[in-house]
């Protein structure tokens, strides 16, 4: 039992180490690392702000300020980004949305959103399908490079806005 647990941890850690460190900034395209460890689903999503807001500089108009504020507010819930099966009975335990823009820092040309979340799921075996509803609200977003890591297994996939779904 203990050995099994250790073995799984080692596999998980080595899988994490092989993940790409940083995704390239390409407009419309984001990256997501999804890790399932026991009953905790953890995600790290990066996306150019251009794909989400249509601009990457600090807001210049009231409309832009409102759009950015609305995005920040929406991201208080991980379900704005990812939808998990109801049977999995997941609860959000942590969420964080970071960007230079949210802090009022003018970047040199480009800005990204870095969004991380943790869900605790009563029935993680039901995590067989993930949907990404944000594609519908942010039509400049068209692609998500996904790395999936779960107890000893690893999978890469490209999720596109035309079919915003991933099944491990």
Site residues, Zn ion (CB under 5 A): 48, 50, 56, 110
Q: Which residue is nearest to Zn ion (CB)?
A: 110
As measured in angstroms, the least distance from the Cβ of 48 to Zn ion is 5
118 versus 138: smaller Cβ distance to Zn ion: 138
As measured in angstroms, the least distance from the Cβ of 21 to Zn ion is 19
As measured in angstroms, the least distance from the Cβ of 49 to Zn ion is 7
Structural contact between residues 34 and 83, judged by C-beta atoms closer than 8 angstroms? no
**Nearest alpha carbon to residue 23 among 150, 165, 145:** 145
Give 3-state DSSP helix, strand, coil % of the chain, rounded to 5: 30, 35, 35
48 versus 164: smaller Cβ distance to Zn ion: 48
Say how far apart CA 147 and CA 35 lie, in whole Å: 8
50 versus 100: smaller Cβ distance to Zn ion: 50
**Angle value at C-alpha 11, between 10 and 14, nearest 5 degrees:** 85
As measured in angstroms, the least distance from the Cβ of 51 to Zn ion is 9
């Amino acid at each position: 039992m203990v050995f099994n647990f250790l073995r799984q941890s080692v596999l998980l850690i080595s899988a994490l180490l092989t993940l790409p460190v940083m995704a390239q900034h390409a407009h419309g395209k984001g990256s997501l690392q999804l890790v399932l460890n026991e009953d905790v689903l953890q995600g790290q999503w990066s996306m150019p702000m251009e794909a989400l807001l249509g601009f990457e500089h600090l807001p210049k108009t009231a409309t832009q300020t409102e759009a950015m504020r609305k995005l920040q507010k929406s991201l208080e819930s991980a379900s704005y980004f990812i939808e998990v099966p109801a049977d999995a009975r997941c609860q959000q335990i942590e969420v964080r949305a970071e960007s230079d823009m949210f802090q009022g820092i003018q970047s040199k040309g480009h800005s990204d959103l870095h969004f991380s979340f943790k869900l605790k799921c009563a029935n993680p075996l039901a995590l067989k399908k993930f949907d990404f509803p944000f594609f519908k609200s942010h039509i400049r977003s068209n692609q998500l490079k996904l790395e999936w890591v779960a107890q000893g297994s690893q999978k890469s996939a490209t999720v596109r806005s035309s079919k915003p779904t991933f099944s491990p």
